[in-house]
Structure 1
Amino acid sequence: MTMLESYLTLKAEYEIIPMDADDCHAVSILHGESFARPWGDGEFYSLLSQDNVFGFVARQTNAFLKKPLPGFVLARQIAGEAEILTIAVQAKVGRTGLGWRLMQAAMREAKLRGGESIFLEVDDGNAPALGLYRKLGFEKVGERRGYYKDAHGSVSTALVMKRVLR
Structure 2
Amino acid sequence: MMDWWPKTKAVPFVVEEVQSSDFETLAEIHARSFEHGWDEIELERLTAQEGVFVLIIRQPNGAGKRLPVGFIMIRAVLDEAEILTIAVDPQVRGQGLAGKLLHQAMFRLYGDRCKELFLEVDASNDAAMKLYKSHGFRKVGERKGYYGSGDGDGTALVLRADLV
TM-score (norm 1): 0.86
Deviation at 1:23, TM superposition (A): 1.5
Distance in 2 of aligned mates of 1:67 and 1:107: 23
Distance in 1 of aligned mates of 2:67 and 2:113: 33
Deviations 1:66-91 (A, max 9, x none): 57631110001002100000001122
Distance in 2 of aligned mates of 1:150 and 1:165: 32
Deviation at 1:95, TM superposition (A): 2.1
Distance in 2 of aligned mates of 1:150 and 1:91: 20
Unaligned runs of 5+ in 1: 1-8
Distance in 2 of aligned mates of 1:67 and 1:54: 20
Deviations 1:101-139 (A, max 9, x none): 100111122222231100011111110110010000000
Alignment of 1:2-151 (within 5 A): 10-61=9-60, 63-65=61-63, 69-150=68-149
Distance in 2 of aligned mates of 1:151 and 1:41: 24
1:157 aligns with 155
Equivalent residues of 2:70, 2:89 under 8 A apart: yes
Unaligned runs of 5+ in 2: 1-7
Report the AA paired with residue 19 of structure 2: D
Distance in 2 of aligned mates of 1:74 and 1:31: 11
Report the AA paired with residue 163 of structure 2: L
Deviations 1:4-59 (A, max 9, x none): xxxxx654320001113222111111000011111111111111112300011111
Distance in 2 of aligned mates of 1:15 and 1:67: 8
Kindly tell me the number of residue pairs found equivalent between the two proteins: 156
Q: Which stretch of the first structure deviates more once superposed, 82-91 or 109-118?
A: 109-118
Equivalent residues of 2:32, 2:90 under 8 A apart: no
Identity %: 36
Distance in 2 of aligned mates of 1:72 and 1:31: 9
